[in-house]
Amino acid sequence: GRLEAVTQQMGYHPQYLDSFLKMQHYLMHMDGPLPFDCRHYIAIMAAARHQCRYLVNLHVLQFLRAGGDPQWLRGLDFIPPKLRNLNEINKILAHRPWLITKEHIEKLLKISEWSWSLAELVHAVVLLAHCHALASFVFGCGCEQDEGPGGRGVLKPLSPGNQCFCEATTGNGCSQELLRINRKRSLDSCMELDSLRERMQRIHMETEGREETRLLQQDREEGERHEWRAEHRAAPSAGLSPLADADGAVTSAANLACYMQDPDFGYQDFARRDEDQTQVFRVQDYSWEDHGFSLVNRLYSDIGHLLDEKFRMVDGLQSSTMAKRQGCEPSVFKRGIWNYIHCMFGIRYDDYDYAEVNQLLERVLKVYIKTVTCYPEKTNSEMFDRFWKQFKHSEKVHVNLLILEARMQAELLYALQAITQYMV
């Protein structure tokens, strides 16, 4: 399965993986304000902002499995206005979250036929932040490996050597039972994929059949009708489903542009010298622990606890070797990475000396962290290889987990603060 690459990498830190999977399962598959097909479509929109085919493909299949309308997969022009209206905050949160305001929230919540409820919006915001941050992890660990036309195909997948996934997560040898379960999951995934391919092929054939009927009615002469049929058989239809090629095989969103508007909108440095200084977000005024946690938990029951557990879990991961290599305590090194990521999004801690960042993080590491955090789709093989030289594999994954969680919390802080301002 496609998800295996992500779980395999996170498996180097099994306690974190358990926390991550619990939160993601609750977010995507348990009771909540949003319908299941909408959840996966929002995930598609979020992943598309970073051109993350890995996640788009995954959620396209899960969207169909949840009973989603295949027509929605043609792009934003084919989805309900309520979902399409989410595009603006998706774009802002993905690239410049400091620009989100209570006016953006008010626009979505205003009374109309397509308005969102507060609970629905909080669910959507958590989904967007989760998928944006997960895209960073996917690119950072080399899980994005699209070999198709136009695909980057630069990063090689990082495998845990000779260990299989359950060995990496438990530190013990695999039992035959675990191997059997893993193989069965792989077979089940293949069977589901085959079923979805058949479904898409059937939808494609039905669509072509209706189109052919309409055109045949317009062709009054028998010769013209036969000519059109011959041409139609010889060349792929221009109206193919975005999930099927000429042979009916699933290609899963070859053109991600259909899932986003304003594709040129991207990250800009928070403190641009040629612009007025944007208001700095001070954690002392609005923090996850004192404000964000209670708000999100009140509007979307229990998700706050699961998010909080995940934030705490990544903070508690052991990194003594990694920190010793940098000549500092583990907590100091991790806080330097976390605060550097938040600083790039305009979030500042009054009790932190930011001069420490330059002392703790060498330039190559800072470039890597900034790229994976702010524009992960630009991660290239050279940057990838240079970064890996000084760390063990588990340490590399640890850095990417810090990026994932720090980025997700940053986006949530801005969105939840704007919701709080609207409610006040």
Residue 395's alpha-carbon distances to 10, 229, 319, in angstroms, are: 11, 59, 7
Active centre residues (catalytic)? 52
Residue 127 CB coordination number (10 Å): 24
Q: Are 190 and 242 in contact (CB under 8 A)?
A: no
Of 420, 422, 411, give the one whose Cα is nearest residue 124.
411
- C-alpha 221/C-alpha 208 separation (Å) is 21
In angstroms and rounded to an integer, the radius of gyration of the C-alpha atoms of the chain is 23
Q: Are 134 and 401 in contact (CB under 8 A)?
A: no
Buried b (16+ CB within 10 A) or exposed e, 20-59: beebbebbbeeebbbebbbbbbbbbbbbbbbbbbbbbbbb
Burial of 422 (0-12, 13-18, 19+ CB in 10 A): middle
Place of tokens 């109309």: 112
Handedness of CA 126, 128, 131, 134 (dihedral sign): negative
Pair of tokens at residue 360: 């703790």
Residue 348: phi, psi to the nearest 5? Answer: -125, 150
Pair of tokens at residue 242: 């975005």
- C-alpha 104/C-alpha 419 separation (Å) is 9
Place of tokens 């990475």: 337
Enumerate the H helices of 96-248 as residue ranges.
102-109, 118-140, 165-170, 176-218, 222-234
Pair of tokens at residue 263: 């594709």
Pair of tokens at residue 246: 């000429």
